Homo-oligomer: A and B are copies of this chain.
Amino acid sequence: LISHRQDSILHSRTMSQARVLNVDTMNPNVKRIEYAVRGPIVQRAVQIEKELKEGVKKPFTEVIKANIGDAHAMGQKPITFFRQVIALCAYPDLLEDDKFPEDAKNRARRILQACGGGSLGAYSASSGIEVIRQDVAKYIEKRDSGIPSNPDDIYLSTGASDAIVTMLKLLTSGEGKTRTGVMISIPQYPLYSAALAELAAVQISYYLDEDKCWSLDVNELRRAVKAAREHCNPRALCIINPGNPTGQVQNRQCIEDVIRFAAEEHLFLMADEVYQDNVYMEGCQFHSFKKVLFEMGSEYSSVVELASFHSTSKCYMGECGFRGGYMEVINMDPDVKLQLTKLVSVQLCPSIPGQALLDLVVNPPQPDEPSYATFIKERTANLHILSEKAKMTEQVLNTVPGIHCNPVQGAMYTFPRLTLPEKAINAEQAPDMFYCMKLLEEMGICLVPGSGFGQRDGTYHFRMTILPATEKLKIVLEKIREFHKRFTEEFS
């Protein structure tokens, strides 16, 4: 019997070794990817939710997820006009229905006319539907006080993620010391490190200055690029503004400095501006890299290569599930643009409902249209609530001894610094992972440890979204306060 059992263990072992695809034979670049926003904490949270459903007793009755920038999942309602138009496009019989406002019908007709066969079900051009690219260009022109935007520079995408990965892919070449290096902020949004790992490009980390509200210091960029030139070929600089996970909003001066730095150091600029409407703090304002670049004069605007990214997922609409987005490329080599068009052709086209939704974001109801008032009301309310939650988050967290929280100037996150007791730091896990896992188990609150985004050695953070509904956010903040106190006592 024993021998039979051993046999079968042996057999199953041989089997597993014999697999064509196993962890030893698979793509090593994929293995190197780390992705915390959906990592072990989140997986455990999903498990706990199932356990709660099955009646397992816990010190809480629901898991509150503040781990991901997903507004609708947290209860934010869609913009009525947007969804009316999508419904009309999906089922054009509704164009006969009196319940829909005329402006929604007009938008739907216009989108459908631009679709193959008048259907959301046709593939579009790979760079996106032409009319929508034109609308995007107009939106950018208006946003940037009239600085021209060319529809031929616009590429629609499957969320901003898709366009960001595509740009990084184009930029990656060389081997060894000539391998492409890409500068990304620390803390960062982990899409960047993941894409660089997958492409086997070199990540060049520059640190944001926590003591100055997570601002970007050009001297730190200089330090980082200089060190990197020893072992790779730095070719691109990525900026997230407003910032994820750190919630800062860059001032104009800083953007100018960054552009000058990119020109001096001959770097391709990638500006991730998916939070462009999410600015809460008085005195802060969103400045697009494109606009600042052009206002700096042709010395810069005719040479600095820039790709900027936007998405339907954030701002006031939060339509993550539609996977809409675009990038605008400035000063891109025309031959590279042909290559880019070819590259995106391989996967045919971005989702058409996503493209349609993006069209509504860049071309919302106008003052003379029937849906205008409701649209403005909904948009204002969403942004106002976010702004209140940003302030509340900062205020409450800063009342907790051992937590320091910078102002949430924009975006949807805070990245507060934790003073952790020594015994917690000697634990086997990363200390902030240990902290967040315990917070989840004891309080039912799901955050992401700072180590998932990068932080200076010896500092500890978590990232938390400000998205839970106000009443829930209050509970989250109170529970964190209580937990932090207990945790500090337990491990001191």
| Min C-beta distance of A382 to chain B, whole Å | 12
Interface residues of A in 177-195 (CB under 8 A from B): 190-191, 194-195
Q: Is A20 an interface residue (CB 8 A)?
A: yes
List 21 A–B pairs whose Cβ atoms lie within 8 Å, in order of A's numbering: A20-B171, A20-B268, A21-B305, A23-B335, A23-B339, A30-B170, A30-B342, A33-B346, A35-B345, A46-B125, A70-B116, A72-B116, A73-B119, A115-B321, A122-B320, A169-B198, A198-B346, A322-B353, A323-B351, A351-B351, A351-B354
Nearest B residue (CB) for A178: B25
Which residues of chain B are near A76, meaning CB under 8 Å? 117
Question: What CA separation (Å) do A38 and B340 show in the bound complex?
Answer: 13
Residues of B within 8 A of A15 (CB): 302-303
Cβ of A492 < 8 Å from any Cβ of B? no
Q: Which residues of B contact A37 (CB under 8 A)?
A: 345
CB of A91 closer than 8 Å to a CB of B:
yes
Complex contacts, A333 vs chain B, CB 8 Å: 16, 19, 21-23
Q: Is A464 an interface residue (CB 8 A)?
A: no
- Complex alpha-carbon distance, A125 and B38, angstroms: 9
**B268–A22 touching, CB < 8 Å:** no
Q: Check if A339 sits within 8 Å of B38, measured CB to CB.
A: no
A268-B21 Cα distance, complex, nearest whole Å: 7
Q: Which residues of A come within 8 Å of B, CB atoms?
A: 15-16, 18-23, 25-28, 30-31, 33, 35, 37-38, 46, 68, 70-78, 83-84, 86-88, 90-91, 94, 97, 99, 115-117, 119-126, 158-159, 161-162, 165, 169-173, 190-191, 194-195, 198, 235-236, 266-268, 302-303, 305, 313, 317-323, 331-333, 335-336, 339, 342-343, 345-354
State which of B20, B77, B115, B321 has its C-beta within 8 Å of the C-beta of A351.
B321
CA A52 to CA B206, docked complex, whole Å: 53
Q: Within the assembled complex, what's the spacing in Å between the Cα atoms of A267 and B88? A: 47
B347 and A165 within 8 A (CB): yes
- The answer for the CA separation of A198 and B303 in the assembled complex, in Å, is 29
Among A70, A162, A335, A348, the one with the most B-chain Cβ atoms within 10 Å of its Cβ is: A348
Residue on B nearest A166 in the bound complex, by CB = B30
Q: Which residue of B lies closest to A12 (CB)?
A: B302
Name the 8 nearest CB pairs between A and B, nearest first.
A73-B116, A321-B352, A87-B91, A73-B122, A72-B119, A72-B121, A87-B87, A351-B351
A150 to chain B, nearest CB (A): 17
* A20-B268, A169-B30, A173-B25 known; A194-B346 Cβ under 8 A: yes
Q: Is the CB of A195 within 8 A of B346?
A: yes
Residue from A15, A94, A122, A161 with most neighbouring chain B CB atoms (10 Å): A122
- Write out the residue numbers on chain B whose beta carbons fall within 8 Å of the beta carbon of A115: 321
Stoichiometry, as copies per complex, reads 2
A15 (CB) vs chain B CBs: closest residue: B303
- Chain B residues whose C-beta falls within 8 Å of the C-beta of A78 in the assembled complex: 119, 121
Contact status of A353 and B20, CB under 8 A, knowing A76-B117, A117-B76: no
In the complex, chain B residues whose CB is within 8 Å of the CB of A35: 342, 345-346
- A266 to B, closest residue via Cβ: B20
> How distant is the Cα of A191 from the Cα of B332 in the complex, in angstroms?
26
Which residues on the B side are within 8 Å of A87 (C-beta)?
A: 86-88, 90-91, 94
A117-B351 contact given A18-B303, A19-B331, A173-B25, CB 8 Å threshold: no
Q: Which residues of B contact A345 (CB under 8 A)?
A: 35, 37-38
Q: A26-B171, A122-B73 are in contact. Are A349 and B332 (CB under 8 A)?
A: no
Q: Residues of B contacting A173 with CB < 8 Å?
A: 25-28
Q: Are A321 and B124 in contact (CB under 8 A)?
A: yes
Contact A161 B19, beta carbon cutoff 8 Å? no
Chain B residues lying within 8 Å of A319, measured Cβ to Cβ, are 121
Q: How far is the CB of A107 from chain B (nearest CB, A)?
A: 13
Asked if A20 and B170 make an inter-chain contact with CB atoms under 8 angstroms apart, the answer reads no
Give bound CA distance, A38 to B350, whole Å: 15
Contact B23 A321 (CB under 8 A): no
A279, chain B: closest CB distance, angstroms:
22
Separation in Å of the A63 CB from the closest CB of chain B? 13
In the complex, are the beta carbons of A21 and B70 less than 8 A apart? no
Q: How far apart are A267's CB and chain B's nearest CB, in angstroms?
A: 6
